Amino acid sequence: MIAGIKDIESEISNILNEFEIQDSVEIRYSNIENTDIQCNNLVRYSNAPNINEIKEKLEKSLLANPFIENIEIAENGFINLNFSNEYLKKFSKNHNERIISPKKESMLFDYGGPNIGKDLHVGHIRTLNIGRSLYNIFKLAGHDVISDIHLGDWGMPIGLILAYIEKESIDINSLSYIDLEIIYPKASELSASSKDFYKEAQEISKKLNSKNEEYLSKWKIIYNLAIPNIKNLLQSLNYEFDLWRGESDVVEEVKTVVADAQEKNLVVEDDGALVSTEKEDPPILITKSDGSYLYLTTDLGTVVHREKNQKCDKYIYVVDSRQRNHFEQVFKTVKHFNLSSSSFIHVGFGTVNGPDKKPFKTRDGNVYKLSKLHEDIKEKLKKYNSNEKVLNVLTNTVLTFSDLLPNRNQNYEFDLEKFTDINGKTGVYIQYAQVRAQKLLSSKVEIIDTNIDNEYNLDERKLLLLLSKFDYFYNQSLNNYQPHHLAEYLYSLCQTFNSFYANNKIFSNDTPDEIKLKRIEIVDNFYNLTGLIFSCLGIKLVDSM
């Protein structure tokens, strides 16, 4: 995973082989001060009788490598190495050329998942940010990626809305989007207290499934009311999708999935409901006792629909961890019903918590809307810039960077005050650092001497070394579906750059031309890589602050 060290690894491996030590040699970055990389394979053999001979041979051979400038083998067998300037110069740039995957795959990213009638709220930012980031990361590696927002535009929620409209005799044609937002929570609440109302909603939902024209046209009205609003909001937040499919697109597939399973005896009846024949505890429920469909059924239909329309090698679902069991059931059933031979991955994540350490509620109607959060962040950022365009990018940066920084497996606390500060691990800080770099690169200077100085001071070397580590963090994010590795790395890059910036003046009169050239190249490398990581995370650059 470390760029450009394969030769060094095989060199060590060869030498160890000569002494009849057969290990798969691995070099890793070192935490030890003044050591760049280390190899631990020799540790287990530190008591071997010919250890001194091995050490001698290793030292001699490794020092001849142009990428290595210093070698030290500790008493206990750790092989500590330092990179040469040649290595640092070469691997601190052109990163995007090195991360192309040798095996190209097609992948569908299912994320976002907004529901009709329910406004996007704070709880949606993780699926949006993580989904978009993974999409960008895999795209950068050369994979064929496609994103699908997977709208919640069918089933019981729609039944509830339509039942409520009917019950309250609301004129559906004069309905506005704002009315819709009010209706859903009320309908949801009513369904919990009134069994009759719940049954009515269920009936409507069933009729929709059998293409009842009256309800279908009402559904369409609601759909057309909701979708443009969702699109506008997401666009302003810089989220884009290749596909805007929803549950309503797979109604036919859901029916055929169930029918086929029945025909192949993959389901059995239980209290009127259909249950998968797979031995599971609890059993996997395919249809309700009244014959209507469930969340799981819809997801199975979606798989069939995708297999038919945009078959992929991998399907990646970015949905919160509470639905882990659900996806286990979906994926098992996909295999059991033989719906697809592709691989299915659930990328889960924890909740976004408020200051009270509790997640923002989604169904009590009293939610923190995403649009409101955007406004609140923007308000805080006004002290940094008054330009509306810059302010919007900055706001989206905070909304994304703060969210991608923690490991997705854990819950985290959203602290508005903290996240909008320029001091600290924040979106504002990283934007400020790259703006500084931009400014330096745009400065027009007369440089006469064209020699580049190839010796590096401590600040320069530290930055170059960190720049060369991109491949590692990129692969961590890619292999584990965890963007936070890149987010953390980006911050440390910016921090190291700011330190370099403060201690190494480029355009001062007592800086010789060859040093100016060298430093401008370093700044250029920093700026290019920063831009690359920004795009991986789904963040746009501001050009001033």
Interaction residues for RNA, span 311-370 (CB under 7 A): 321-326, 350-351, 353, 357, 359
Answer yes or no whether residue 53 interacts with RNA by CB under 7 A.
no
Cβ distance to RNA smaller for residue 47 or 169: 47
Footprint (CB under 7 A) of RNA, residues 192-211: 202, 205
Q: What is the CA radius of gyration of the chain?
A: 29
Interface segment toward RNA; rule CB under 7 A; list 87-95, 96-104, 154-162, 300-308: 154-162
Assess contact for 145 and 138: CB atoms under 8 A: yes
Q: Any residues with CB less than 8 A from the CB of 60 and at least 6 apart, and which?
A: none
Answer yes or no whether residue 436 interacts with RNA by CB under 7 A.
yes
Whether the bond between 282 and the residue before it is cis, its omega within 30 degrees of 0, is yes
Cβ distance to RNA smaller for residue 29 or 144: 29
Answer yes or no whether residue 425 interacts with RNA by CB under 7 A.
yes
492 closest CA partner among 513, 475, 476, 469: 469
Quote the CA–CA distance of 526 and 495 in Å, as a whole number: 11
Cβ distance to RNA smaller for residue 144 or 412: 412
Answer yes or no whether residue 393 interacts with RNA by CB under 7 A.
no
Interface segment toward RNA; rule CB under 7 A; list 52-60, 86-94, 369-377, 493-501: 493-501
CB of residue 250 to RNA, shortest distance in Å: 11
> Hey, what are 151's tokens?
């709208």
Assess contact for 401 and 430: CB atoms under 8 A: yes
Answer yes or no whether residue 460 interacts with RNA by CB under 7 A.
no
CB of residue 340 to RNA, shortest distance in Å: 20
Answer yes or no whether residue 298 interacts with RNA by CB under 7 A.
yes
Answer yes or no whether residue 14 interacts with RNA by CB under 7 A.
no
Answer yes or no whether residue 279 interacts with RNA by CB under 7 A.
no
Answer yes or no whether residue 508 interacts with RNA by CB under 7 A.
yes
Interface segment toward RNA; rule CB under 7 A; list 83-91, 232-240, 256-264, 278-286: 278-286
CB of residue 173 to RNA, shortest distance in Å: 26
At 471 the three-state DSSP class reads helix
Is the CA virtual torsion 498, 499, 502, 505 positive or negative? negative
> Hey, what are 244's tokens?
């805007």
Cβ distance to RNA smaller for residue 96 or 323: 323
Quote the CA–CA distance of 527 and 400 in Å, as a whole number: 20
The DSSP secondary-structure symbol of 122 reads G
Answer yes or no whether residue 115 interacts with RNA by CB under 7 A.
yes
Answer yes or no whether residue 38 interacts with RNA by CB under 7 A.
yes
Answer yes or no whether residue 44 interacts with RNA by CB under 7 A.
yes
Cβ distance to RNA smaller for residue 76 or 232: 76
At residue 183's C-alpha, the angle toward residues 177 and 184, to 5°, is: 100
Quote the CA–CA distance of 164 and 158 in Å, as a whole number: 10
Angle between helices 195-209 and 177-193 (to 10 degrees): 120
Footprint (CB under 7 A) of RNA, residues 219-258: 247
Binder of RNA out of 371, 385, 387, 535 (CB under 7 A): 385
Q: Any residues with CB less than 8 A from the CB of 174 and at least 6 apart, and which?
A: none
Quote the CA–CA distance of 138 and 535 in Å, as a whole number: 12
Answer yes or no whether residue 544 interacts with RNA by CB under 7 A.
yes
Binder of RNA out of 214, 415, 449, 455 (CB under 7 A): 415
Binder of RNA out of 14, 178, 505, 512 (CB under 7 A): 505
Question: How buried is residue 228: exposed, middle or buried, by Cβ count under 10 Å (0-12/13-18/19+)?
Answer: exposed
Answer yes or no whether residue 418 interacts with RNA by CB under 7 A.
yes
